[in-house]
Amino acid sequence: MRVTPSGGALGAFVTDIDLSETPSEQLRQALRAAWHEHLVLVFPDQPLNEAAFLAFAKTIGEPGRYPFVTGLADFPDIIEVKKLEHEKNNFGGIWHSDTLYLDEPPMASMLVAREIPPVGGDTEFANMNSAWEQLPLELQQIIEHLTVVNRSDLADVSKTRSDRLADPGQPTRQAYQSEHPAVRTHPETGRKALYVNIAHTSHFVGMTEAESRPILEAIFEHQIQPQFVWRLTWKPGMLTLWDNRCLLHNPINDYDGHRRLMHRITLAGDRPY
Q: Which band of pLDDT confidence, cut at 50, 70 and 90, is reported for residue 170?
A: low
Q: Which band of pLDDT confidence, cut at 50, 70 and 90, is reported for residue 164?
A: very low
Q: Are residues 216 and 97 in contact, defined by beta-carbon separation less than 8 angstroms? A: no
Could you tell me if residue 169 is inside a domain?
no
In the chain, DSSP assigns E strands to 2-5, 12-15, 40-43, 63-64, 79-83, 108-115, 123-127, 147-151, 177-181, 183-185, 192-194, 201-204, 229-232, 239-243, 247-251, 260-267
- CB count in 10 Å sphere of residue 85: 11
Alpha carbons 13 and 141: distance in angstroms, whole number? 36
Alpha carbons 121 and 203: distance in angstroms, whole number? 31
Report the number of distinct structural domains present in the chain: 1
**pLDDT, tens digit (0-9, with 9 covering 90-100), for 89-132:** 998 999 999 999 999 999 999 999 999 999 999 999 999 999 99
Q: Are residues 101 and 200 in contact, defined by beta-carbon separation less than 8 angstroms? A: yes
Could you tell me if residue 46 is inside a domain?
yes
Instruction: Please enumerate in sequence order all residues whose Cβ is within 8 A of that of 196, keeping only pairs 6 or more positions apart, or say none.
Output: 148, 150, 182, 216, 219, 220, 223
Query: Strands 40-43 and 79-83, how do they pair?
Result: unpaired
**DSSP class of 74:** S
Is 267 in a helix, a strand, or coil? strand
The pTM of the whole model exceeds 0.85: yes
Instruction: Please enumerate in sequence order all residues whose Cβ is within 8 A of that of 140, keeping only pairs 6 or more positions apart, or say none.
Output: 132
Q: Are residues 82 and 113 in contact, defined by beta-carbon separation less than 8 angstroms? A: no
Range of the domain at 203: 2-160+174-267
pLDDT of residue 167: 52
Could you tell me if residue 21 is inside a domain?
yes
Mean pLDDT of 210-238: 98
**DSSP class of 226:** G
**pLDDT, tens digit (0-9, with 9 covering 90-100), for 14-48:** 999 999 999 999 999 999 999 999 999 999 999 99
Mean pLDDT score across all residues of the chain? 94
Could you tell me if residue 168 is inside a domain?
no
Could you tell me if residue 273 is inside a domain?
no
pLDDT above 90: percentage of residues in the chain:
89
Q: Which CATH number characterizes residue 221's domain? A: 3.60.130.10
Angle (nearest 5°) at CA 144 between 245 and 242: 10
